[in-house]
Amino acid sequence: MKLYISLNSPYVRMVRVLLEETGRAFEVEQVEVNPRDPSSGYWALNPTSRVPALELPNGTIIPESSLICAYLDKQLADGRFFAPLHADPQHLGMFGTAVAMLDRGVAARTEKMREGGPDHETFINTQLAAVIRAADAFEKFAAPKTGEIDMLDIAIACATAWVDFRHPEVKILEGRGRLSEWVQSTSARPSMLVTRPH
């Protein structure tokens, strides 16, 4: 299998952390691409041209980080990273909220990077307000961590770290002690350290 990646993508990071955590990352070749470069050949492989995408040995392409995580979890880890999320739909809901928080954050980042500067402050603020609401929901939901790391822990750690990286002014962990503790319980793991954005 091949995983198409770019190193600072938080969606890619979720998949890479999961891979590290399975202990079977060596079974997936990671190929760095620039998804915005039409001359890379990547657009022919993956029509919507975003990263991550997983290529199976038979040439099948699977885009979308959540689907890739679900597939790899089943193939490489007997589904143990998603099992707690399926056992309790509230956890599945929080996983969806973490991914949706990233969608909002990425939309705001795209607008910030627009040539000529961020001339759509209202758009950015609308996106970041949703990011903050998601962080508040995580703070409310957080419970002391018991047991093994799962897909929700990975998603929350990757999503909050990326928001901190690209939107530091949001101060996503400030004043959110329970969320901070939750994130800290995951962020020191080797899988998080080797995939840190830079």
Q: Is 54 helix (H, G, I), strand (E, B) or coil?
A: strand
CA dihedral 143, 131, 101, 24 (to 10 degrees): -60
Stretch that binds ligand GSH, among 62-70, 73-81, 88-96, 189-197 (CB under 6 A): 62-70
Bond preceding residue 197 cis, omega within 30 of 0: no
- Closest by CA to 155, choosing from 90, 68, 108, 96, is 96
Instruction: Tell whether residue 51 is a contact of ligand GSH (CB under 6 A).
Output: yes
Taking the C-alpha atoms of residue 171 and residue 109, their distance in angstroms, rounded to an integer, is 15
Instruction: Tell whether residue 64 is a contact of ligand GSH (CB under 6 A).
Output: yes
Q: Is 27 helix (H, G, I), strand (E, B) or coil?
A: helix
Which is it for strands 29-32 and 61-63: parallel, antiparallel or unpaired? unpaired
Residues 6+ apart with CB under 8 A from 110: none
Instruction: Tell whether residue 11 is a contact of ligand GSH (CB under 6 A).
Output: yes
Tokens of 12: 């890619």
Stretch that binds ligand GSH, among 45-53, 114-122, 126-134, 178-186 (CB under 6 A): 45-53
CB of 50 to ligand GSH, least distance (A): 3
Taking the C-alpha atoms of residue 72 and residue 69, their distance in angstroms, rounded to an integer, is 5
Interface mask (CB under 6 A) for ligand GSH, residues 115-154, using x and -? ----------------------------------------
Instruction: Tell whether residue 65 is a contact of ligand GSH (CB under 6 A).
Output: yes
Binder to ligand GSH among 30, 40, 50, 71 (CB under 6 A)?
50
Interface mask (CB under 6 A) for ligand GSH, residues 83-122, using x and -? -----------------------x----------------
Pick the closer one to ligand GSH by CB: 22 or 49: 49
Which residues of this protein are in contact with ligand GSH, per CB under 6 A? Answer: 9, 11, 35-36, 49-52, 64-66, 106
